[in-house]
């Protein structure tokens, strides 16, 4: 029977949290992209459209919880395995991509989300129509969030296949 040290248990525990974080993040992102966005498009011009956009924007906190799990467990795994930060390695590549995604949020994604929220709140509840400005902000937001989802999947592929570094 294999005898596991405290370090091994810690490693397993952190990996478990790492996977949970990824599952939450990718689950929330795909649900939003596949179901909510499709229904926002179908509901164009109706009162439902505004409500669905609000629901779409409200996934933020769940997404942040997933990212928080990945980040905290990832830093723990990096320290336990003595991998270092931003080195020329699989983990370094993952950290760099993750940082790039992370920076997109305060720089581009969150300001757009805040603007959309402001536009939605500015219109009285009885008025069903979502403004053209709001539509064009959404049209900018979708590809950015798609890029984040694709980058997350690329990071998963890197973690699983460990590309060789010279």
Residues that bind ligand HEM (CB under 6 A): 15, 18, 22, 70-71, 74-75, 77-78, 81, 83, 90-91, 94-95, 98, 152, 155-156, 159-160
Indicate the residue whose CB is closest to ligand HEM.
Answer: 74
Q: How far is the CB of 7 from ligand HEM (least distance, A)?
A: 12
Q: How far is the CB of 89 from ligand HEM (least distance, A)?
A: 8
Of 63, 90, 82, 101, residue with least CA distance to 157: 90
Contact status, residue 113 vs residue 60, Cβ threshold 8 Å: yes
* CB within 8 Å of 134: residues ≥ 6 apart: 53, 116, 119, 120
Residue 39 or 90 having the CB closest to ligand HEM: 90
Contact status, residue 69 vs residue 18, Cβ threshold 8 Å: yes
Cβ burial, residue 112 (10 Å; 0-12/13-18/19+): middle
Q: How far is the CB of 43 from ligand HEM (least distance, A)?
A: 31
Residue 97 or 137 having the CB closest to ligand HEM: 97
Residue 117 or 149 having the CB closest to ligand HEM: 149
Q: How far is the CB of 32 from ligand HEM (least distance, A)?
A: 16
Q: How far is the CB of 112 from ligand HEM (least distance, A)?
A: 22
**Cα 2–chain centre separation:** 37
Rounded distance, CA 99 to CA 114, Å?
A: 22
Measured CA angle at 19 (ends 16, 22), to 5 deg: 150
């Amino acid at each position: 029977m294999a005898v596991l040290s405290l370090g091994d248990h810690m490693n397993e525990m952190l990996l478990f949290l790492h996977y949970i974080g990824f599952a939450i993040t990718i689950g929330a992102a795909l649900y939003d992209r596949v179901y909510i966005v499709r229904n926002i498009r179908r509901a164009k011009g109706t009162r439902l459209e505004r409500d669905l956009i609000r629901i779409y924007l409200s996934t933020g906190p769940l997404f942040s919880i997933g990212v928080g799990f990945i980040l905290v467990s990832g830093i723990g795994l990096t320290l336990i395995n003595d991998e270092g930060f931003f080195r020329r390695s699989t983990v370094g590549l993952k950290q760099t991509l993750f940082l790039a995604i992370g920076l997109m949020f305060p720089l581009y994604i969150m300001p757009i989300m805040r603007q959309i929220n402001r536009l939605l709140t500015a219109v009285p509840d009885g008025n069903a129509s979502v403004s053209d400005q709001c539509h064009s902000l959404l049209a900018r937001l979708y590809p950015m969030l798609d890029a984040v989802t694709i980058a997350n999947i690329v990071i998963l592929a890197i973690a699983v296949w460990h590309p060789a570094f010279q």
